[in-house]
Structures are given as structure tokens and as C-alpha cells.
Structure 1
Amino acid sequence: MNDILDDVLTQWKSAIDDHDPQRAAALFTEDAIFQGLHPYGVGRDAVAEYYESQPIGLSPQYKLLETRRLADDTVLAYLAVDFSFIDRPTLPVNLSVIVRRTSDGWLISHYQVSRL
């Protein structure tokens, strides 16, 4: 289960590090519910728009805190994430994600950030 999450989250981190919103969005299901620190959106276009608005140099460092297998094809993760920036202090947040096995592999179907 942790291997599944690490694979998806490593790709997510890499896409953000590279400021590649389309690659980040491709890690989400087409109907994903996405709640960053702005109003929520649904679907890959909303995810790509969110990450496009993020500053160059944004980089997440995450630590898995809790995981639960909700079904054979569904995993829940609760993480601590530190988003670092080039020009401002690091922002610590809590993140909950649900990843689902789809015909395209494991993808994020729910993403919920909250400030500490």
C-alpha cells in the first residue's frame, strides 16, 4: 500500500518541482475533487489551473502519517507536507488524498489540503 502511495506522490512531487501543471493534473482522475488553498475544483483542468498559478520554485516535501486501504482499488493517505518557496517561508500543511486504481493506473481522486 505504501509503495502505491509513494509512487503516485513521488510523481506528484516531481511534477510540482518541475512546474509542470499538465503532468501533475495527469496524476488525478478526470473527476477528481481538488481542494488546495484556493476554492475547490473538479477534474484535471482545475488541477492544472491550480498548479499553473503556483510560483516557480515551489517544492513539496511529504511524510506519510496514516494510510488505510478502503477497498482493493482504493487507498486513503494522510500526510504532513512542507511546501518550500524561493522567496518566502515554508508552508506546513496537512494533506489527505484518496488514490484509486483505474485503467490508467493508480490516480488521485480526492485531494484536500488544510493549514496546520
Structure 2
Amino acid sequence: MTGTPAAEAVLRSLLDRWKTAVDAHEPHQVAALFTTDAIFQGLHPYSVGPQGIAEYYASQPLGMTATYRILETRQPTDDLVLGYLSVDFSFTDRPTLGIWLSVLAQRADDGTWRLAHYQVSRLD
């Protein structure tokens, strides 16, 4: 169940697409990276599913960008990858916001990976 290069590669592929969509302010592209029943907890009340995720990212300011670093991975089963990351969200008009992020990626029947869980923490 420890981290492996394969588990990190799964997360990096998925999170690179997440970053690209976040940086381009494309909330529906971000939401498309999640399962239909994904539990999403950003810095606002949680939601379930892509609609709430799209609304969350649509509310983010234009010009916000994300830089992530994978700190830990685990692969409890062939179809699940857990990741723990640090993420810096940068803005055009305020200081960078650093958060801690836990994600759970799930492989679908068609072989694609999607985020099934997203949990932000701030440790101030």
C-alpha cells in the first residue's frame, strides 16, 4: 500500500489536467475530471458531483492559478490511488494561498481515472 511510481504517474496525469483547467478558468473542464458522485470539499461547504464542483470553480477569481506538489501516494487497490499534496493558489490581487489537499482517484470501467474525493485543509 505504499507509494509507487505508477501511483504517482496516475495522480500526476490527472492533476496536470486539473491544473490546466483551473489555470484557464474552465470550471466545467475541472468538473469533468471528477466522478459523478465525487465528494468535494474546497474552502466552502462541500458538494457532491460535478455540478457543485463546476459552481465552486466558476466562483474563483479570474487569474487564479494552481501549483501542486505530490507529497505522498498510496494505492490500496488496483483501481484506487490516494494522494496527499501541497497546493499553492496564486492570485493577481492578493497573496498566494497555500493549502493541503487529499484526493482519491478511481479508475472507471473504461480505464479512465477520475477524482472521487477532494478534501482541502488549511493549517494556519
| Equivalence for 1:106 | 113
Which structure has more strand as a fraction of its residues?
Answer: 1
Matched, 1:51 2:57: yes
| Offset of residue 70 of structure 1 | 1.3
TM-score after normalising by structure 1: 0.98
CA distance in 2, matches of 1:70, 1:60: 27
User: Which residue number corresponds to residue 77 of structure 1?
Assistant: 83
Per-residue CA distance 1:74-111 (angstroms, 9 max, x = gap): 00000000000000000000000000001351000000
> 2:72 corresponds to which residue?
66
Q: Does 1:19 align with 2:25?
A: yes
Point out where structure 1 has 5 or more consecutive residues left out of the alignment. Answer: none
CA-atom RMSD in angstroms: 0.7
Q: Structure 2 length normalisation: TM-score?
A: 0.92
Task: Determine what percentage of the aligned residue pairs are the same residue.
Answer: 58
Aligned residues: 116
Unaligned runs of 5+ in 2: 1-6
Q: 1:50 offset after TM fit, Å?
A: 0.3
For the pair shown, the structure with the greater C-alpha radius of gyration is: 2
